[in-house]
Amino acid sequence: MKTISCPGCDRKMLITKLECPTCNIKIKGVFQSHRFGYLDKESLDFIETFILSRGNIKDIEKALGVSYPTVKTKLDKVITELERIKSLEEKNIQITSEV
């Protein structure tokens, strides 16, 4: 999933239209993104590497060319971001891209 930012202000853009390419039905409104949609590109790239490495820290170190402490720091950052997003969703608070 790619996070799309506004070209003018660099804020996360809203999903306001869904369309079926087969029957051309269109639904307009404001639709929620998945939690990962609120993460920045760096976090999404790290998650992809983490999954493709099956969570093996040594493989992640090698893939990213970083040390163990850096991998742990990146993982902690993603966890903190996801916990914040989940907490805001549970409280029904509007989430901004500035996680």
* CATH classification at residue 61: 1.10.10
The per-residue pLDDT for 57 is: 97
In a domain, 4, yes or no: no
Cβ of 42: how many Cβ atoms within 10 Å?
11
Domain range for residue 47? 15-90
Element (H, E) at 33: none
- Structural domain count, the chain: 1
Residues of the chain with pLDDT under 50: 1-2, 97-99
The per-residue pLDDT for 26 is: 95
In a domain, 20, yes or no: yes
Contact 64, 71 (CB under 8 A): yes
Residue type at 67? S
The per-residue pLDDT for 31 is: 82
- Give the chain's radius of gyration (CA, Å): 17
What distance in Å separates the CA atoms of residue 45 and residue 51, rounded to the nearest whole number? 10
The per-residue pLDDT for 38 is: 82
In a domain, 1, yes or no: no
Q: Is the pTM of this model over 0.85?
A: no
In a domain, 78, yes or no: yes
Contact 38, 95 (CB under 8 A): yes
